[in-house]
Structure 1
Amino acid sequence: MKEGDEWKTAFKTKQGLYEWTVMPFGLTNAPSTFMRLMNQVLRAYISKFVVVYFDDILVYSFVVSSQGLQVDEEKIRAIQEWPTPGNISQVRSFHGLASFYRRFVPNFSSIASPLTAVVKKNVGSAGEKLRRRHSRP
């Protein structure tokens, strides 16, 4: 919260007058402010191994064992449960996250081609292809 704006969050109880010193969740702009801050703080890592999506911050990673590199099942679950992207920025974030694991997915380029088309701004029918691909079992 910007210093000097605390008074804008003031509320009164029987015990006295209180002001927030940090931005409370529930304020209209809190989610976008939080996401903007996380994008600033993690800027150097976004698209390399971090995705920021509202209050979810995903760090791409592998599990290293004596058998070699393996996929972290928790991360795969996050990809499977990822909400359908609603704008180009969200498509880019998801595409970057999914691309990190491309070595584990046979024919990844073919599977991700609708996303790649959207990211490259060949939006024509790519949006519809994306929706069809995302809704497959």
Structure 2
Amino acid sequence: MFSKACEYGIRAMIYIAQRSRQGERVGLKDIAQGIDSPEAFMAKIMQALSRQGLVQSVKGPHGGFYMDTQASKITLAQVVRAIDGDHLFTGCGLGLTECNEKKPCPIHDEFKLIRNKIRSLLETTQVGEFNELLEKGVLHLKRI
């Protein structure tokens, strides 16, 4: 459903929100290790998220990526749009370029319902919502 970049981006944002809550800035290497992603790929993703203003960064020996309390209210939909654009919310379930109400694909109506539920979920879920459950070890962000 999500591109690999988007998966890593969402996980990174949740990870940074958690660490920022603890008053920390997180380096690229720590993010990559913390969410089990390739560091070089993560650098490109973090650059895109930073450019969109979804995370802040400070250079130097005590630098890294962080979020203020307002940024932890960023929705998962904002992260998806920053990395993958709006295609998840508007695209055809079969990948057709010409699929709409007037010219639907075979799964158009059913997929539209699913797509709308996904949009609703992502637009109402904030990256900072998972902090407590991550700290308790109930949730995780990398393969175990």
Does TM-score exceed 0.5, indicating one fold?
no
Task: Give the helix-richer structure, 1 or 2.
Answer: 2
Q: TM-score, normalised by structure 2?
A: 0.25
Of the two structures, which has the highest relative contact order with CA contacts closer than 8 Å and spacing of 6 or more? Answer: 2
Q: TM-score, normalised by structure 1?
A: 0.26
